[in-house]
Amino acid sequence: MLYAFIVSKLSSESEDELKRHSAYATFNTSKDPLQLWLALEQLHLVTTVSKNAALVLRQAEKDFMTCAQGEYESITKFKERIDVKLRAYNSALGPTSQVSDERVAMTFLDNLHRTPYWQFYANGINIINADSTKVPKNVGELYQKAKAYVIIATTTKQNGNPVSFATTADIFLRSNKTKTPKGNNKNRANRKLRKTLFECAKSSGSQRSDMR
């Protein structure tokens, strides 16, 4: 039933690609949902329709190198996305030529979003420049540091006094999703001006009535 459910959700294009998989006859006969899922994952790891090994490798490398953290994306979601891109890239490279752990870590560091992580990124680069042995050994080590990283965000009170608060980067991202609608101050000023003009006109009319 699970096998049939997965197949029912495939597009016609994906189903055609699946039937060309080298192990399709085997897992389609046994109706093994795990093997079906693994085959589908393999087919969709790289965003290209080409089956040429050189083109697949080129696209896989591009997808991995340009996998950057989104503006409001948590560090955990970013880590999950870059792991998927890495699997696709390693699969295209083959078992004898895999991406080194240090290169993965540096790609992860370089593609962090600069709004919450600019200081984390700068500190990491400065440490590496000062001592080449301090290059992160793997992405897991860097991820744990980034996840626990505390930033100092500066804002301003209504009276103009600057205030600072400490928070984790992910909380800072979520708290900054809400933006103040534009034009509120302008609309408030226009309403105040209309009210003042109305009161002046009313007062002027009352004075003319008293004179009569």
Q: Which residue has the higher pLDDT, 188 or 114?
A: 114
Domain ranges in the chain are 45-186
How far apart are the C-alpha atoms of 37 and 78, rounded to whole Å?
Answer: 23
Q: 101-110 vs 75-93: helix axis angle to the nearest 10?
A: 140
pLDDT tens across 83-134, in order?
989 988 988 888 888 999 999 999 999 999 988 899 999 999 999 999 988 8
CA dihedral of residues 42, 47, 48, 49 (deg, nearest 10): 60
**What's the pLDDT at 40?**
80
Q: Which residue has the higher pLDDT, 111 or 167?
A: 111
How far apart are the C-alpha atoms of 45 and 205, rounded to whole Å?
Answer: 77
**What's the pLDDT at 47?**
62
Q: Is the pLDDT of residue 156 over 60?
A: no
Q: What angle do CA 49, 97, 22 make, to 5 degrees?
A: 40
How far apart are the C-alpha atoms of 139 and 110, rounded to whole Å?
Answer: 12
Residue type, 38: L
DSSP state of 151: E
* Strand, coil or helix: 51: coil
Q: Enumerate residues 6+ apart whose C-beta is below 8 A from 207.
A: none
What phi and psi, each to the nearest 5 degrees, are found at residue 167?
-160, 165
Question: What does the pLDDT average to over 133-161?
Answer: 77
pTM: 0.59
pLDDT tens across 15-71, in order?
887 887 888 889 889 999 998 888 887 776 766 656 677 888 888 899 999 999 998
Q: If we measure between CA atoms, which residue out of 150, 180, 146, 177 comes closest to residue 165?
A: 150
